[in-house]
Amino acid sequence: MIALGLEGSANKLGVGVILHPPQGGPAQILANIRHTFVPPPGEGFLPKDTAKHHRSWVVRLVRHALREAGIVVADVDCICYTKGPGMGAPLQSVAVSARILSLLWHKALVGVNHCVGHIEMGREITGAQNPVVLYVSGGNTQVIAYASQRYRIFGEVLDIAVGNCLDRFARTLNISNDPAPGYNIEQMAKKGRHLLDLPYTVKGMDCTFAGILTSIDALAAKLEQNPTGWTDKTTSDVITREDLCFSLQETVFAMLVEITERAMAHVGSSQVLIVGGVGCNERLQEMMGIMARERGGNVYATDERFCIDNGIMIAHAGLLAYQMGFVTPLQDSTCTQRFRTDEVLVKWRG
């Protein structure tokens, strides 16, 4: 079976084509095309501008994906799209595009939970069997484990997602959004040498990032008054922009490692799977790896082709559901900004 997937819950528009062999075996990625809306430095992406970008590019990306996959419309079994969660206007643009393709091509429609798409693609690529999942992106931060045909949320952020925290600090520093603000924060953090004391807020299995962002923004304002750096009164070190990025990363990632380790202990798992756009961060993977190895476990992660929002993950998760008999009737092919990971019945897992 072959599925075409459309993803556009944020500033990435992705179109993917995937094949599930009839006799089982690994899924075959036939095409994985993506185009990103990049706003100017110091600005975020507005929903209306992002939706306009998606509408402008979707036809070109679908054509490109079919051409790269070497298939024709008749080969496609279903059209999968991101139902949510995400930003309202971009989600609507993708949902409308999926409906049009479904009607034009007379294909079944499958609405997919964005978070489940990340998890299933991560499991497929890495081969992780039953891991604790750390899902970290611009819109979500969750620690998840599978039980009784649901992806159960063991812990999550209580305010802003970790990716949003990093992106907003990039705007504070007026860092470029190309290729991504979080990536540019990561590169600057590699040059940081001084760890500053920042709020560390873990509440049981949950965490918060708004306070640490307020604190680091205040330090950035202080740095702006002294562009060459200011001296820390406690250590007498000269603090730079790179030190701020380093300190922010180290602190928020330590919080994520803590709640992930607690979930591993609770469910008795030795595997951690990191998914979502922030999962590309090499320092996060390194810190999680240290923790997992100390527990005799392993960390699984993918590169930017699959960590960052993409259409192939929607095609894969949608085809798994379609093979179990799930379809989305046209009248129900809506989208929603709030679609919890644990709302999905994962019938394809025993």
Q: What is the pLDDT of residue 236?
A: 84
Tell me what the pLDDT averaged over the chain comes to. 96
Is the separation of the CB atoms in 16 and 33 below 8 Å?
yes
Distance CA 22, CA 6 (A): 23
Under DSSP, the state recorded for 235 is T
| Residue whose token pair is 């998840």 | 144
Is the separation of the CB atoms in 80 and 314 below 8 Å?
yes
338 confidence band (pLDDT: 50, 70, 90): very high
Distance CA 196, CA 248 (A): 8
Distance CA 52, CA 43 (A): 17
User: Can you tell me the mean pLDDT for 332-341?
Assistant: 96
Structure confidence by residue, pLDDT tens digits, 54-72: 999 999 999 999 999 999 9
Distance CA 124, CA 29 (A): 11
User: Can you tell me the mean pLDDT for 314-340?
Assistant: 97
Q: What is the pLDDT of residue 237?
A: 86
Structure tokens at 129: 């069997």
| Residue whose token pair is 């002294």 | 226
User: Can you tell me the mean pLDDT for 140-154?
Assistant: 97
Structure confidence by residue, pLDDT tens digits, 156-191: 999 999 999 999 999 999 999 999 999 999 999 999
Question: Which residues make beta-bridge pairs with 155?
Answer: 143
Structure tokens at 25: 């075996």
Beta sheet of 2-7, edge-to-edge order: 28-36, 12-19, 2-7, 78-84, 108-113
Q: What is the pLDDT of residue 169?
A: 97
Tell me: pLDDT of 94 over 90.
yes
- Other CB atoms within a 10 A radius of the CB of residue 235 amount to 12
Nearest to 326 by CA among 109, 152, 123: 109
User: Can you tell me the mean pLDDT for 196-208?
Assistant: 96
Task: Quote the percentage of the chain above a pLDDT of 70.
Answer: 100
Residue type, 263: A
Structure tokens at 61: 């990306």
User: Can you tell me the mean pLDDT for 265-270?
Assistant: 96
Out of 77-86, 226-235, 273-282, 324-333, pick the least confident.
Answer: 226-235
CA 209 to the chain's CA centroid: 17
Q: Does residue 85 or residue 43 have the better pLDDT?
A: 85
Residue type, 2: I
Structure confidence by residue, pLDDT tens digits, 1-14: 999 999 999 999 99
Q: What is the pLDDT of residue 62?
A: 98
Burial (Cβ within 10 Å: 0-12, 13-18, ≥19) of residue 181:
buried
Phi, psi of 142 (to 5 degrees): -145, 145
Q: What is the pLDDT of residue 234?
A: 80
Tell me: pLDDT of 74 over 90.
yes
- Other CB atoms within a 10 A radius of the CB of residue 329 amount to 9
Distance CA 26, CA 199 (A): 44
Q: What is the pLDDT of residue 199?
A: 97
279 confidence band (pLDDT: 50, 70, 90): very high
Structure confidence by residue, pLDDT tens digits, 211-237: 999 999 999 999 988 877 788 878 888
Q: What is the pLDDT of residue 291?
A: 98
277 confidence band (pLDDT: 50, 70, 90): very high
Under DSSP, the state recorded for 331 is G
Task: Quote the percentage of the chain above a pLDDT of 90.
Answer: 94
Q: What is the pLDDT of residue 168?
A: 96
Burial (Cβ within 10 Å: 0-12, 13-18, ≥19) of residue 186:
buried
Q: What is the pLDDT of residue 181?
A: 95
